Each structure stands twice: as structure tokens, then as C-alpha cells.
Chain A
Amino acid sequence: MKQNTNVHAEEGKQELVITREFDLPLELLFKAYEEPEIIEQWMGTNVLKLENKKYGCWQFETTDDQGNVVFRANGVIHEFIRNQKITRTFEMENTMFPVQLEFLEFEKLTDNTSKLNMHIVFKSVEFRDQLLQLPFTQGINMAHNQLQAVASKLGEGNSSGK
């Protein structure tokens, strides 16, 4: 499996950039950010609210097997231009992390490939570095298990995927 997700976190800057190239047409990539049911599948979280428009708001929530809320985040959408960009705020509830500003840019590479550029601005360098140091491994495994379940539900119809 190729490693095509890059994270650039330049020293001393309160921002980071995540880039990824997809084997998907631009329209399908964008749809994965637009349709709540699809977001729920790949983010491994429940979409409580998602208003895809200027000044619309969004709220995601993740629960464990017992139904306890382990993660909840919300924000406001400032720009929503289909197949081009989403600008939004992101705030984790009940944490010490201040709100972040996210610029998502969607770009067509070829008819069947596309690129996502996700630029995140933090309140300070310290908050960015603390976010990077959060114990993600546990979260990854948990999300991964949920995603596995989704994948098996969808079936193995298209196993040519990476």
C-alpha cells in the first residue's frame, strides 16, 4: 500500500497541512464530504448535524460500544463551494483545545484522480503540537474496527481497491 497521505507540520508555525491524492474523480471525493451517511462510514463517527451552506453548522459524535460519547466536535461552515472548497471551524467539545480553522481544497488531477489539501490553523504552536501528540493510536484502532465493520457490510465487491 502506498503512503500517499502527507502531513506537513513546519516547526514554529501554528498550522499544519494534510495532503492526499485519491484514485477517485473529483466529484466522488467531494461527495464523501457532503453526504452524512458516507462521512459516517469513513470517519467512523455519527453525523448529528451537517448544513452544507454558508453559516451552516455541523456536529459529529462518536460513541463506544456501550453508547458512551467518547468524542464530539462541532463547527460552522464559512464557505461551501461544491467540488472546490469547504472552509469551516472545528472545535472538540469538553477539551482544552480552542477552535481550529480548516481550509479544505478539492482539486481535479485527471478524470479519475483528485487531490485534497487540508490546511488547519491553530490558536498557537503549542496547541498544534499538543494535538499532534494526543494518544491517537488507541483512537485509530477503535476507528479502524468500526471501519472494518462498515467495509464488510459493503461487501468485498470491489476488492481491486487499495
Chain B
Amino acid sequence: MKLRRDPFQAIADPTRRAILVLLVSQTMTAGAIAKNFDTSRPTISKHLQILTECELLEQEQKGRKIYYHLKPEKIKAIADFIEPFRKLWDDRFNKLESIMKNYQSTK
């Protein structure tokens, strides 16, 4: 049985997050993706394999080349999971920042 990986584990890695960002606006081959990183091609292939297993990416065969593209619905599910919590703290900290700026200027 093929191991089902967890998408949250997949996005815990900064290189994999960077790959997802690269693919937001375009489809790319593994070679083109690898050119954006200092890490070796096999390492990038491994990251792509993990992202594909988590169904964050999908492979598409065009002629002899394989292109990768995002699966937005899965990415949205992840973002929705943690985003409200992040937003809660972001709002609080934005407020903290503006209150303390006022505090500083009226001191």
C-alpha cells in the first residue's frame, strides 16, 4: 500500500513552500523548477514527489515532457485550516503595533 503523506508535513518545508509559490502562476517542468534552487536536481525531484503524493501538485504529460501544476482546492483546504487562527493573531498584533505607536507619540 502506498504511504499517504500528510499535506501539512509537505508544507512544513521551506523549499516545498517555495516550489508551490513558483507554480502559482505557471506550469513548469522539474528541470525548470530546479533552476530556481541551489539544491541538487534529485533533491528537488524528491520534493516534487512528496508534493504530488500529497495531491498539492499534479503531473501533466505534454509530449515528452512532464509539467507540474498546482491543485488549488487542496491548497485552499490547508490555508483555510490554519488561516483563521493566524488572522486572529495578526489582527491582534496589528492593533498592538498601532496602539504602541500612538503610545510612543503621545508620551
Contacts and interface: CB of A to CB of B under 8 A. Distances in A.
Interface residues of A, number: 48
B95 A28 contact: no
- Report whether over half of chain A's contact residues are helix, strand or loop; otherwise say mixed: mixed
A24 B86 contact: no
B87 A140 contact: yes
B82 A140 contact: no
A154 B99 contact: yes
Contacts, number: 109
Nearest to A13: B12
Interface stretch (A36-44, A50-58, A73-81, A101-109): A36-44
A136 B92 contact: no
B95 A42 contact: yes
Nearest to B96: A42
Interface in B89-103: 89-103
A18 to B, nearest CB: 6
B37 interface: no
A41 to B, nearest CB: 5
Interface of B: 6, 8-9, 12, 81-82, 84-106
The 4 A-B residue pairs whose C-beta atoms are closest, nearest first, are A5-B90, A136-B84, A42-B96, A11-B8
